[in-house]
Structure 1
Amino acid sequence: MSIAEQFPYKIELHVHLDGAIRTETIVETAKRRNIHFPWETIEELKTHLVMSAPPYHLGALLEKFHTFMPVVAGDRDAIHQIAYEFCEDCKKHDVFYTEARYSPQLFANKMSDGSKPPYAHTEGDITPREVVNIICNAFEKGSQDFGVKVKSILCCVEHAPEWSNEVLELCKEFKPRGVVAIDIACGDLDPDVPHKELHTRAFQLAAQYGIHRTVHAGESGPAAGVRLALDEMHAERIGHGYKVVDDAELYERCRRENIHFEVCPLSSVKTGSVPDDLDKHPLHRFINDEVNFSINTDDPIVLDNDLTSDYEMVMKMGLDKEHVIATIFHAARSCFAPPEEKKQILAELVKVYGEKYMKM
């Protein structure tokens, strides 16, 4: 039985929509918009984008986004197509529930505060609010058409704290349409980041408003970022979080409080966030200590992965089938779906994998 056949019902909690665009969609959009783009074929673009050789560090991964985001940002049809195709890809890989995250400002071509959009070629009428509306429309249609459940997480951007309040307001407005949480991305959370109080204030208000919180922390930055996320931002989940093992007291606290870690195995290697020796990967400690974590892809367009390939990777590292199934149940219990929907997801998992995993 293949790896894919062993896991016919998957859940993913940490994947970036802008990191999961199809390469063919980028090439097609560049041609349609008459954008000068040196990579004319899917193969050429893929060769350029996929991180296949050192140096491996987070900055190198983030730099790849500058290649393709200017092609799709500020284009209504492209944004809708990306989100709709994401739903189709979920179905293709048996991912029946997922929370896709993105920054509304990075897809926009008209900023609400009058500043220049980061990636758009020219200013238009697609504000961050309109970006969320377009993506919600596409996720609703794609979820219905392909029989999956795709939710949104809206990301603040680490180097743009002035956007955080708007992200919070969009989370509030679009909560009824499947926006389930707020995040901070585009870099690792660092306690010394300038103006971090603008980020932390948005997350504190999110907690007051009943909006779920997840935070990128402890990926390539210090374990102190995880502590900041928990203490000042009221994080319920941690994106990556590998460096938490460097702080024994914090690690034990996370175990005790059942904090969920969104682990991205291949990404952790390609960003240089874990030791070169995979026998020393924090994943082994997470398994041995029964830490609450899930397996995720992060940015498939740059990493050339899918959830099945990441499952295959961790199984080569020594995890067995039961370990992987347990992480799928961890994901279900830690997802940000409304309570009744979460019960339904867990019931579906029990049908597929069995009742015993509810106790793991």
Structure 2
Amino acid sequence: MSLAGLHSTPVPADPAIDAMVAALPKVSLHCHLIGSVAPQTVVDLARRHGVRLGRSADDLYDHASYQDLGEFLRVLDVVGSLIRDADDFARVTYESLTAGGAAHGVLYREVHLSPPGHPGVPYPTILEGVLAGARDAEADTGIRAGFVVGLCRERSGAAAVELVEQVVGHRADEVLGIGLDYAEIKGPPTRFAEAFRLARRAGLRRTAHSESGPPDHVRVLLDELGCSRVDHGYHVVDDPAITARCVAERVPFTCTPVSSDVGRYSGSGDGTHRRIAEMVDAGLLVTIDSDDPPMFGTDPTHDHRVLAHALGWRRDRLAALTRNAVEACWLDDTDRAVLLARVKAGVAATPDAPPAPQEDPA
């Protein structure tokens, strides 16, 4: 059965929870541009460029198969190869920020770009398109955006340095920093230390994915790559010393409940989201986002919905995660204060849902 158009993690119908999570203001720090392309847009781009997909919008994304990271990355690369010119980039950016963002209460999003995922497309072309899409989205909905350029850890350290040089050489205020993504097992973080040092010297912020590696990878990201936050990072709670350090230093972790549950990182695929709960209970600075929303059958509202059901979290607990994201974002202090005021006003206007029923200890 096709999963397209359905949420890959079903939850019970609950009008009070649905109203609460829909109304909550949200701040998005972990959403990949390629992974946020809607199925119909993929089909349209394939038709525009004369590429035969062999699938329709209804069966394009097979969410359950993405337990295999390699299969997910294969699909990601197919989609990335179809985004080829500035108009394509403007369209997918606009849609990610509007239908995929503002429509779900997202006030601000830092979009992760993956230039290596668009073979043959010059970085300036990517930049031209995404900036145009972001400007139009802000004009139409009020959502603001910044950009994080992802280095592909499956490529060489030299390729990463070359990409950072392009980012610096075509500097735009909206490009706030760099990240490190793709299969962690194929690219240990130390390989990219030189690229991250170059980014630091240029005044770019730094983050990196850390899902499946050992907890010590978090230390490497902080000490050798100079990261100011960590994408995913669920394994940090396996090491009490690193956990304590990250709590003390207010290191943000951008968690993605649905995609990471499908990929068996944040809850062993059982829908409990226990890793995220453990991180919050440990006092870590946790934020919530959707990663690659349509590819994993989710959206910003749904990722909050599954936590409300699985963990019994209601408005105030979920709003605290949004305030964490304001603290963790890469805006300057003035813009951050404006964003925080918008978040507080939105939370105050959000109806709470009844508390989750307590389990009978017997």
TM-score norm. by structure 1 comes to 0.85
TM-superposition CA deviations, 1:106-147 (whole Å, max 9, x none): 2242xxxxxxxxxxxxxxxx4123212221222122222221
Letter in 2 for 1:3: D
Aligned to 1:203: 196
Aligned to 1:187: 183
Select which of 304, 317, 330 maps to 2:310.
317
C-alpha deviation, 1:247, in angstroms: 1.5
Is 1:128 the equivalent of 2:143?
no
TM-superposition CA deviations, 1:147-204 (whole Å, max 9, x none): 11011100000011332223323443555431111100012277x73xx555111112
Select which of 28, 48, 58 maps to 1:32.
48
> RCO higher in 1 or 2 (8 Å CA, sep ≥ 6)?
2
**Is the contact made by 1:108 and 1:128 (CA closer than 8 Å) also made in structure 2?**
no
Distance 1:280-1:182 versus aligned 2 partners, 3 A rule: closer
Q: CA-atom RMSD, angstroms?
A: 2.2
- Using the alignment, how far apart are the partners of 2:216 and 2:193 within structure 1? 15
Indicate the percent of aligned positions where both proteins have the same amino acid. Answer: 23
Q: Secondary structure at the match of 1:299?
A: coil
- Using the alignment, how far apart are the partners of 2:324 and 2:89 within structure 1? 31
- Using the alignment, how far apart are the partners of 2:111 and 2:232 within structure 1? 15
Aligned to 2:28: 12
TM-superposition CA deviations, 1:233-272 (whole Å, max 9, x none): 0111100001111212111111111110000011111112
- Using the alignment, how far apart are the partners of 2:35 and 2:19 within structure 1? 22
Q: Secondary structure at the match of 2:150?
A: strand
- Using the alignment, how far apart are the partners of 1:153 and 1:186 within structure 2? 14
Q: Secondary structure at the match of 1:317?
A: helix
**Is the contact made by 2:190 and 2:220 (CA closer than 8 Å) also made in structure 1?**
no
Letter in 1 for 2:134: F
- Using the alignment, how far apart are the partners of 1:305 and 1:13 within structure 2? 16
TM-superposition CA deviations, 1:13-54 (whole Å, max 9, x none): 000000000111111121122212211x31132xxx23135x
After superposition, residues 1-360 of structure 1 pair within 5 angstroms as 1-6=16-21, 7-39=23-55, 41-45=56-60, 49-52=61-64, 56-72=67-83, 74-89=84-99, 90-109=101-120, 126-161=121-156, 162-173=158-169, 176-188=172-184, 193=188, 199-217=192-210, 219-274=211-266, 275-279=268-272, 281-318=274-311, 319-354=313-348
Distance 1:220-1:32 versus aligned 2 partners, 3 A rule: same
Number of residues paired by the alignment?
329
Q: Secondary structure at the match of 1:177?
A: coil
TM-score norm. by structure 2 comes to 0.84
Distance 1:197-1:84 versus aligned 2 partners, 3 A rule: same
TM-superposition CA deviations, 1:296-341 (whole Å, max 9, x none): 1001131010011110111112223211100000000110012211
- Using the alignment, how far apart are the partners of 1:98 and 1:154 within structure 2? 14
C-alpha deviation, 1:345, in angstroms: 0.2
- Using the alignment, how far apart are the partners of 1:286 and 1:59 within structure 2? 27
C-alpha deviation, 1:280, in angstroms: 6.9
Letter in 1 for 2:91: Q
C-alpha deviation, 1:102, in angstroms: 1.3
- Using the alignment, how far apart are the partners of 1:144 and 1:169 within structure 2? 31
* Unpaired runs of at least 5, structure 1: 110-125, 355-360
Distance 1:288-1:60 versus aligned 2 partners, 3 A rule: same
- Using the alignment, how far apart are the partners of 1:279 and 1:35 within structure 2? 40
**Is the contact made by 1:60 and 1:271 (CA closer than 8 Å) also made in structure 2?**
no
Aligned to 1:115: none
* Unpaired runs of at least 5, structure 2: 1-15, 349-362
Distance 1:66-1:154 versus aligned 2 partners, 3 A rule: closer
**Is the contact made by 1:79 and 1:107 (CA closer than 8 Å) also made in structure 2?**
no
TM-superposition CA deviations, 1:270-302 (whole Å, max 9, x none): 112132445472112122222101111001131
- Using the alignment, how far apart are the partners of 1:70 and 1:206 within structure 2? 26
Letter in 2 for 1:340: T
Distance 1:16-1:280 versus aligned 2 partners, 3 A rule: closer
**Is the contact made by 2:218 and 2:230 (CA closer than 8 Å) also made in structure 1?**
yes
- Using the alignment, how far apart are the partners of 2:269 and 2:126 within structure 1? 39
**Is the contact made by 1:104 and 1:129 (CA closer than 8 Å) also made in structure 2?**
no
- Using the alignment, how far apart are the partners of 1:308 and 1:100 within structure 2? 17
Aligned to 1:120: none
Which contiguous aligned blocks of 4+ residues in structure 1 show a shift greater than 4 angstroms?
277-280
**Is the contact made by 2:257 and 2:273 (CA closer than 8 Å) also made in structure 1?**
no
